[in-house]
Amino acid sequence: MFADLCSNPKVLKNTLELGYTRIGYETRTDRKPTKMAEISPPPQDLIEKYQNFHLPSGNPLGSSIKFYSRLTFHYAKGELNQLLTSGNAVLQSYDLIAIEPKDEASFRFACTLAEVDIITFDCSQKTNFAIKTGLVKQAIARGIFFELKYTQGIAGSSCEHLISTGTKLALVTKGKNIIFSGGSDVAHHLRGPHDIINLGVMIGLSTDNARKAVTVNPASAVLHGETRRTAKGAIGVMNTSKMNGEEQKWRIDGYSPNSSSDAMEE
Protein backbone atom coordinates (compact mmCIF):
# COMPACT_ATOMS: atom_id res chain seq x y z
CA MET A 1 0.00 0.00 0.00
CA PHE A 2 2.77 2.45 0.88
CA ALA A 3 5.26 3.05 -1.86
CA ASP A 4 8.86 4.11 -1.99
CA LEU A 5 9.79 4.61 -5.59
CA CYS A 6 13.41 5.55 -5.11
CA SER A 7 14.96 2.90 -2.95
CA ASN A 8 18.16 0.90 -2.87
CA PRO A 9 18.72 -2.86 -2.60
CA LYS A 10 21.04 -2.31 0.36
CA VAL A 11 18.22 -1.06 2.54
CA LEU A 12 15.54 -3.46 1.36
CA LYS A 13 14.97 -5.02 4.75
CA ASN A 14 14.63 -1.65 6.43
CA THR A 15 12.11 -0.34 3.93
CA LEU A 16 10.03 -3.50 4.30
CA GLU A 17 10.18 -3.26 8.08
CA LEU A 18 8.93 0.29 7.96
CA GLY A 19 5.92 -0.82 5.94
CA TYR A 20 6.62 0.00 2.30
CA THR A 21 5.28 -2.54 -0.18
CA ARG A 22 5.83 -0.95 -3.58
CA ILE A 23 9.52 -0.41 -4.02
CA GLY A 24 11.35 1.08 -6.96
CA TYR A 25 15.03 0.72 -7.65
CA GLU A 26 16.76 3.63 -9.30
CA THR A 27 19.50 3.85 -11.89
CA ARG A 28 20.88 7.32 -12.40
CA THR A 29 22.44 8.49 -15.66
CA ASP A 30 23.34 11.73 -17.27
CA ARG A 31 24.32 10.08 -20.50
CA LYS A 32 22.45 8.13 -23.11
CA PRO A 33 22.11 4.49 -22.13
CA THR A 34 23.07 2.86 -25.39
CA LYS A 35 23.83 -0.64 -24.25
CA MET A 36 21.51 -3.14 -22.67
CA ALA A 37 24.18 -3.86 -20.08
CA GLU A 38 23.60 -0.49 -18.48
CA ILE A 39 20.16 -1.48 -17.30
CA SER A 40 19.92 -3.06 -13.90
CA PRO A 41 16.66 -4.98 -13.48
CA PRO A 42 15.16 -5.52 -10.05
CA PRO A 43 16.93 -8.30 -8.15
CA GLN A 44 14.99 -11.53 -8.76
CA ASP A 45 16.31 -13.46 -5.78
CA LEU A 46 15.06 -10.81 -3.38
CA ILE A 47 11.65 -10.80 -5.04
CA GLU A 48 11.31 -14.56 -4.65
CA LYS A 49 12.44 -14.42 -1.07
CA TYR A 50 9.95 -11.78 -0.04
CA GLN A 51 6.91 -13.01 -1.90
CA ASN A 52 5.14 -14.25 1.21
CA PHE A 53 6.52 -11.73 3.61
CA HIS A 54 4.09 -10.65 6.32
CA LEU A 55 4.58 -7.02 7.00
CA PRO A 56 4.55 -5.34 10.41
CA SER A 57 1.49 -3.36 9.40
CA GLY A 58 -0.40 -6.54 10.05
CA ASN A 59 -2.19 -7.14 6.77
CA PRO A 60 -0.94 -10.48 5.46
CA LEU A 61 -3.53 -10.89 2.76
CA GLY A 62 -3.45 -7.50 1.20
CA SER A 63 0.11 -6.41 0.92
CA SER A 64 2.09 -8.23 -1.70
CA ILE A 65 5.45 -6.74 -2.41
CA LYS A 66 6.16 -5.33 -5.85
CA PHE A 67 9.40 -4.10 -7.25
CA TYR A 68 9.79 -1.61 -10.06
CA SER A 69 12.77 -0.56 -12.09
CA ARG A 70 13.38 3.09 -12.65
CA LEU A 71 15.74 5.21 -14.66
CA THR A 72 16.57 8.78 -13.68
CA PHE A 73 18.12 11.32 -16.00
CA HIS A 74 19.73 14.34 -14.44
CA TYR A 75 20.90 16.80 -17.00
CA ALA A 76 20.94 20.45 -17.92
CA LYS A 77 20.15 22.33 -21.11
CA GLY A 78 18.88 20.21 -23.94
CA GLU A 79 21.35 17.38 -24.09
CA LEU A 80 18.99 14.45 -23.74
CA ASN A 81 15.82 15.96 -25.15
CA GLN A 82 15.80 13.89 -28.28
CA LEU A 83 16.32 10.67 -26.39
CA LEU A 84 13.33 11.26 -24.19
CA THR A 85 10.88 11.74 -27.04
CA SER A 86 12.21 8.98 -29.23
CA GLY A 87 10.52 5.93 -27.75
CA ASN A 88 13.81 4.15 -27.39
CA ALA A 89 13.57 0.40 -26.78
CA VAL A 90 16.04 0.58 -23.91
CA LEU A 91 13.92 3.14 -22.15
CA GLN A 92 10.73 1.17 -22.70
CA SER A 93 12.06 -1.70 -20.66
CA TYR A 94 11.98 0.36 -17.47
CA ASP A 95 8.81 0.60 -15.45
CA LEU A 96 9.39 4.22 -14.58
CA ILE A 97 11.38 7.03 -16.12
CA ALA A 98 12.26 10.15 -14.19
CA ILE A 99 13.92 13.45 -14.93
CA GLU A 100 15.85 15.53 -12.46
CA PRO A 101 16.03 18.90 -14.20
CA LYS A 102 19.03 21.05 -13.45
CA ASP A 103 17.97 24.21 -15.13
CA GLU A 104 14.97 25.93 -16.59
CA ALA A 105 15.31 24.54 -20.08
CA SER A 106 15.26 20.93 -18.98
CA PHE A 107 12.41 21.63 -16.56
CA ARG A 108 10.39 23.19 -19.35
CA PHE A 109 11.09 20.26 -21.60
CA ALA A 110 10.21 17.76 -18.88
CA CYS A 111 6.84 19.38 -18.21
CA THR A 112 5.78 19.86 -21.80
CA LEU A 113 7.27 17.35 -24.21
CA ALA A 114 9.27 14.62 -22.50
CA GLU A 115 7.89 11.08 -22.23
CA VAL A 116 8.49 10.64 -18.56
CA ASP A 117 6.51 9.66 -15.50
CA ILE A 118 8.22 11.53 -12.70
CA ILE A 119 9.97 14.87 -12.28
CA THR A 120 12.37 14.85 -9.36
CA PHE A 121 13.91 17.74 -7.51
CA ASP A 122 17.32 17.83 -5.95
CA CYS A 123 16.48 18.92 -2.42
CA SER A 124 20.03 19.09 -1.15
CA GLN A 125 20.57 22.45 -2.80
CA LYS A 126 18.57 25.42 -3.87
CA THR A 127 16.78 24.99 -7.19
CA ASN A 128 18.35 27.00 -10.01
CA PHE A 129 15.11 27.48 -11.80
CA ALA A 130 11.74 28.86 -10.94
CA ILE A 131 8.91 26.35 -10.63
CA LYS A 132 6.35 27.99 -12.84
CA THR A 133 2.64 27.41 -12.41
CA GLY A 134 1.88 27.17 -16.12
CA LEU A 135 4.43 24.45 -16.73
CA VAL A 136 3.36 22.53 -13.67
CA LYS A 137 -0.26 22.63 -14.79
CA GLN A 138 0.73 21.24 -18.16
CA ALA A 139 2.66 18.45 -16.51
CA ILE A 140 -0.29 17.55 -14.30
CA ALA A 141 -2.56 17.48 -17.34
CA ARG A 142 -0.15 15.02 -18.95
CA GLY A 143 -0.13 12.83 -15.86
CA ILE A 144 3.38 13.52 -14.64
CA PHE A 145 4.20 13.36 -10.94
CA PHE A 146 6.49 15.59 -8.93
CA GLU A 147 8.76 13.82 -6.54
CA LEU A 148 10.45 14.89 -3.34
CA LYS A 149 13.08 12.78 -1.71
CA TYR A 150 12.73 13.19 2.01
CA THR A 151 16.11 11.66 2.86
CA GLN A 152 17.84 14.66 1.33
CA GLY A 153 16.46 16.70 4.18
CA ILE A 154 17.89 14.26 6.69
CA ALA A 155 21.19 13.34 5.15
CA GLY A 156 22.54 16.83 4.52
CA SER A 157 23.21 19.66 6.87
CA SER A 158 19.77 21.20 6.71
CA CYS A 159 16.26 20.38 5.60
CA GLU A 160 15.80 23.94 4.40
CA HIS A 161 15.78 23.21 0.70
CA LEU A 162 13.52 20.20 1.02
CA ILE A 163 10.92 22.29 2.77
CA SER A 164 11.27 25.27 0.45
CA THR A 165 10.81 23.21 -2.72
CA GLY A 166 8.09 21.24 -0.97
CA THR A 167 6.06 24.27 0.03
CA LYS A 168 6.51 25.81 -3.39
CA LEU A 169 5.31 22.62 -5.03
CA ALA A 170 2.38 22.17 -2.68
CA LEU A 171 1.29 25.69 -3.49
CA VAL A 172 1.70 25.43 -7.22
CA THR A 173 0.25 21.97 -7.74
CA LYS A 174 -2.55 22.52 -5.22
CA GLY A 175 -1.61 19.23 -3.65
CA LYS A 176 -2.10 17.04 -6.69
CA ASN A 177 0.44 14.73 -8.28
CA ILE A 178 3.05 14.80 -5.55
CA ILE A 179 5.12 11.79 -4.53
CA PHE A 180 7.38 11.32 -1.54
CA SER A 181 10.18 8.85 -1.77
CA GLY A 182 13.39 8.02 -0.01
CA GLY A 183 16.55 8.43 -1.98
CA SER A 184 19.21 7.04 0.22
CA ASP A 185 21.20 3.87 0.63
CA VAL A 186 21.78 4.48 4.32
CA ALA A 187 19.36 2.70 6.63
CA HIS A 188 19.05 5.30 9.36
CA HIS A 189 17.97 7.98 6.95
CA LEU A 190 14.72 6.19 6.20
CA ARG A 191 11.46 7.06 7.89
CA GLY A 192 8.10 5.37 8.13
CA PRO A 193 5.18 6.25 5.84
CA HIS A 194 3.12 7.95 8.53
CA ASP A 195 6.07 10.19 9.35
CA ILE A 196 6.28 11.17 5.71
CA ILE A 197 2.57 11.88 5.57
CA ASN A 198 3.02 14.21 8.51
CA LEU A 199 5.90 15.91 6.71
CA GLY A 200 3.56 16.43 3.80
CA VAL A 201 1.05 18.11 6.08
CA MET A 202 3.79 20.35 7.49
CA ILE A 203 4.78 21.29 3.94
CA GLY A 204 1.27 22.47 3.24
CA LEU A 205 -0.63 19.58 1.76
CA SER A 206 -3.96 18.56 3.21
CA THR A 207 -3.97 15.32 5.17
CA ASP A 208 -5.79 13.65 2.30
CA ASN A 209 -3.30 14.76 -0.33
CA ALA A 210 -0.35 13.95 1.89
CA ARG A 211 -1.65 10.42 2.31
CA LYS A 212 -2.18 10.11 -1.42
CA ALA A 213 1.40 11.19 -1.97
CA VAL A 214 2.59 7.98 -0.38
CA THR A 215 -0.13 5.55 -1.43
CA VAL A 216 -2.19 6.35 -4.50
CA ASN A 217 0.06 8.67 -6.50
CA PRO A 218 3.03 6.30 -6.81
CA ALA A 219 0.65 3.62 -8.08
CA SER A 220 -0.67 6.09 -10.62
CA ALA A 221 2.87 6.88 -11.69
CA VAL A 222 3.49 3.20 -12.32
CA LEU A 223 0.30 3.02 -14.39
CA HIS A 224 1.44 6.04 -16.33
CA GLY A 225 4.66 4.17 -17.03
CA GLU A 226 2.68 1.23 -18.37
CA THR A 227 0.69 3.41 -20.70
CA ARG A 228 3.87 5.08 -21.86
CA ARG A 229 5.20 1.70 -22.87
CA THR A 230 2.12 0.51 -24.70
CA ALA A 231 1.01 2.04 -27.97
CA LYS A 232 -1.28 4.88 -27.01
CA GLY A 233 -2.22 2.85 -23.97
CA ALA A 234 -4.20 0.33 -26.02
CA ILE A 235 -1.93 -2.45 -27.19
CA GLY A 236 0.77 -4.20 -25.24
CA VAL A 237 3.39 -6.74 -26.18
CA MET A 238 4.48 -9.42 -23.74
CA ASN A 239 7.11 -12.10 -24.04
CA THR A 240 5.49 -15.52 -23.55
CA SER A 241 8.48 -16.95 -21.74
CA LYS A 242 8.08 -14.33 -19.05
CA MET A 243 4.45 -15.03 -18.37
CA ASN A 244 3.67 -16.41 -14.95
CA GLY A 245 0.48 -17.61 -13.44
CA GLU A 246 -2.90 -18.55 -14.77
CA GLU A 247 -4.09 -15.02 -15.21
CA GLN A 248 -1.54 -14.34 -17.92
CA LYS A 249 -1.06 -17.70 -19.58
CA TRP A 250 -4.61 -18.07 -20.83
CA ARG A 251 -3.72 -15.57 -23.50
CA ILE A 252 -1.41 -17.98 -25.26
CA ASP A 253 -2.95 -19.96 -28.11
CA GLY A 254 -3.36 -23.62 -27.35
CA TYR A 255 -2.82 -23.30 -23.63
CA SER A 256 -4.84 -25.35 -21.22
CA PRO A 257 -4.12 -25.54 -17.51
CA ASN A 258 -3.76 -29.32 -17.38
CA SER A 259 -1.44 -29.72 -20.34
CA SER A 260 2.32 -30.09 -20.04
CA SER A 261 4.63 -27.16 -20.35
CA ASP A 262 5.80 -28.19 -23.84
CA ALA A 263 2.68 -26.86 -25.48
CA MET A 264 3.24 -23.45 -24.00
CA GLU A 265 6.64 -22.85 -25.42
CA GLU A 266 5.31 -22.40 -28.94
Partner 1 sequence: METHNSNFPLSNSPDATGRLHNQIIKNFFPMSRRYCYQCIHRKARFRPRLGTEITMVRIKHRYILGEVKSGIDLNKSGERGFINLVTQQIRFFHGEYGVGALQHGMRVIYLNPSTGTFLLKTARSSCRAVWSSLTLTRERGNQSVQIVVLHVSGTIKQAKEAALQYNQNIILVEEEEKEEENI
Rule CB under 8 A: which residues touch partner 1? 18, 49, 52-58, 153-155, 159, 187-192, 194-196, 198-199, 201-202
Q: How far is the CB of 209 from partner 1 (least distance, A)?
A: 15
Minimum distance from CB of 195 to partner 1 (Å)?
4
Q: Nearer to partner 1 by C-beta: 105 or 159?
A: 159
User: How far is the CA of 27 from the CAs of 99, 156, 160, in angstroms?
Assistant: 12, 21, 26
How far is CA 39 from each of CA 29, 33, 43, 132, 133, rounded to the nearest angstrom? 10, 8, 12, 33, 34
Which of residues 125 and 259 has its CB atom nearest to partner 1 in the complex? 125
Pick 179 or 196: Cβ nearer partner 1: 196
Please state, in angstroms and as integers, the Cα–Cα distance from residue 167 to each residue in 48, 148, 151, 154, following that order: 39, 11, 16, 17
Return the number of other C-beta atoms located less than 10 Å from residue 97's C-beta.
22
Of 11 and 71, the one with the shorter C-beta distance to partner 1 is: 11
Helical pair 160-173 and 193-203, crossing angle rounded to 10 deg: 70
As measured in angstroms, the least distance from the Cβ of 175 to partner 1 is 16
| DSSP annotation string for 87-156 | T-HHHHTSSEEEEEE-SHHHHHHHHHT---SEEE--TTS--SS---HHHHHHHHHHT-EEEEETHHHHHS
Smallest separation, CB 167 to partner 1 (Å): 13
Residue closer to partner 1, measured from CB, 32 or 191: 191
Least separation in angstroms between CB 154 and partner 1? 5
Q: How far is the CB of 60 from partner 1 (least distance, A)?
A: 8
Question: Which C-beta is closer to partner 1: that of 155 or that of 264?
Answer: 155
User: E strand or H helix at 21, and its extent?
Assistant: strand 20-29
Contact indicator for 74, 100 with CB cutoff of 8 Å: yes
